[in-house]
Structure 1
């Protein structure tokens, strides 16, 4: 099984997955770096050796206005080497800009507003309407300091937590894996933000379904 450390997940590009060389019979997944572990796990479990992966930096979630342009650049770079490209992103705060790029390029992408939604299942997430809840995934539980604490300056000014999170009531950890260490990290994050804690085991949610559909239509 391919393993990645957290520094790799935030790098600009991950090398294609091990397997045969690129070609018209292969599929390229362009993904958010925050989904790399999950995509690799699904690939390994299902033996999808015809799928390669390249990732945009996960930190772009803090700058969603840059995602569409980065995705376009990745499509342009790899278009000639693959028979099919799939965008493993939801809208992720781009305001439809990423969907517009994908539509123009004939590239499919994951349905939904963000990863919290498709991990939960888009229909279930919309029905729940939990606007006063702050969500973590496995990735964000692991990288809470890097993607939440430091960018918001909470390491230097913890008193700002009330300003940023005062309207939230609960932190919901959407767990992709049953990992007690990550659960402890997520619970500590809730405590640091002064929020109630809830853990929900979602597994891979609609990400798994999207990749299964991609596999069935590839080639």
Structure 2
């Protein structure tokens, strides 16, 4: 079975079927699959289904709106409501404009770092322009989503070109996992950055899902 990041619903992953006539579809970034599944199962929200778009779209944010639109149009006839578990995520407002046109709700945040910490709290860190952020997902997938796409596995000398203006790596931890903490610390070392860990949990995500 492929992972939820490849686009499986909660039912396909063993979650109880949605309640008849009360189904909501969450279209999410694959980077949020694990977290959303945990929140939904923890709360027993059987009215929610989940389908995820490939997490690698974060490396090509200009493709996110078209992928979201295709997913909405594909599933709209089967659900009474569709919500989009993305922030702006580098689309320059295009995703918000799309969701408004399609009359679907999306997360009101610039990216997942903001809603994991809580958008208000994140906005208060106006002095962190030189911080590089990781979530649980990005810690697990650091090589695949950061190190290799930037070519640092082949040309480590480019590290200063990409990260010379950063001063620290901030790991926003959704879970209490010492292994992930160790990996995140190692990532900071590889990038030549100071390390900071923040235990954020799921931030605004549970309350946003709870009102969906």
CA RMSD of aligned residues (A): 1.4
4+ residue segments displaced more than 6 Å: none
2:91 paired residue number: 94
In 1, Cα distance between the equivalents of 2:78 and 2:110? 29
Unaligned runs of 5+ in 2: none
TM-score where L is the length of structure 2: 0.94
Match of 1:124 among 121, 126, 131: 121
Q: Distance in 1 between matches of 2:94 and 2:134?
A: 24
| DSSP-derived class of the 2:176 partner | coil
Q: CA deviation at 1:146?
A: 0.3
- Cα distance in 2 between the residues matched to 1:21 and 1:112: 28
**What is the SS of the residue equivalent to 1:164?**
helix
3-state SS of paired residue (1:45): helix
Matched-pair contact (CA < 8 Å) for 1:68–1:101: yes
Listed as ranges, the gaps of 5+ residues in structure 1 are 215-219
1:47 aligns with 2:44: yes
SS in 1 for 2:3: helix
- 1:152 alignment partner in structure 2: 150
Q: Distance in 1 between matches of 2:202 and 2:165?
A: 28
| Aligned mates of 2:83, 2:19 — CA distance in 1 | 15
Cα distance between partner residues in 1 of 2:175 and 2:160: 30
Count residues with an aligned counterpart. Answer: 208
Matched residue SS, 1:128: coil
Partner of 1:14: 8
Q: Does 1:68 align with 2:62?
A: no
TM-score by structure 1 length?
A: 0.91
Residue 153 (structure 1) shift: 0.5
